[in-house]
Amino acid sequence: MSTVDFIVIVVVVGLVALAITKMVKDKKRGVKCSGCSGCSECPNNHLQ
């Protein structure tokens, strides 16, 4: 495995981990979906 391969793995795992962390965090805050195009009128909007 080359250094570039290792960096790509770190980047991909990092991006996916960040995305999952955000979703889990949102779920705990009671957000029904991590971002939706109608959130400005959603009574459960916690993004602001």
Partner 1 sequence: MKIALAGNPNSGKTSLFNAITGKIEHVGNWSGVTVEKKEGDVKQNLNPRNEDLVVVDLPGAYSMSPYTSEESITRDFVQNENPDVIINIVDSTNLSRSLFFTTQLLELGIPVIVALNKSDLTDKKGNTIDVPALSDALKCPVILTSATKSSDNGLPKLIDAVITLGKSNKKQIPPSIYGVKKASTKEEFEKADKKRYAFVNNVVTEVERRKVSSEKQTLQDKVDRIVAHKWLGIPIFAAIIWLVFSISQSWVGPLLADIFVGWIDVLYEGVASLLGEDVNPVLAALLLDGIIGGVGAVIGFLPLIMVLFFCLALLEDSGYMARVAIVLDRFFKKVGLSGRSIIPMIVGTGCGIPGIMSTRTIKNERQRRTTAMLTPFMPCGAKLPIIALFAGVFFGDNSWVGTSMYFLGIIVIIISALIIRKITGDYSKSYFIMELPEYRLPSLKRAAISVLMRAKAFIIKAGTIILVCNAAVQILQTFNWQFQVVAENAPETSILASIASPLAILFIPLGFGLWQFAAAAVTGFIAKENVVGTLAVCFSITNFIDVEELALVGGSAEVSTIFGITAVAGLSYLVFNLFTPPCFAAIGAMNSEMESRKWLLGAVGFQLGMGYTLAFLVYQLGTLLTTGSLGAGFIGGLVAVVLIVTYVGYLMRKGSKGKQISAGMRSVKV
Residues in contact with partner 1 by the rule CB under 8 A: 1-2, 4-5, 8-9, 11-12, 15-16, 19-20, 22-23, 32-44, 47-48
- For residue 34, what is the DSSP state? S
State the sign of the Cα–Cα–Cα–Cα dihedral 13, 14, 20, 24: positive
CB of 28 to partner 1, least distance (A): 14
Which residue matches tokens 């909007």?
45
- Single-letter amino acid, residue 16: V
Decide whether 1 or 28 has the Cβ nearer to partner 1.
1
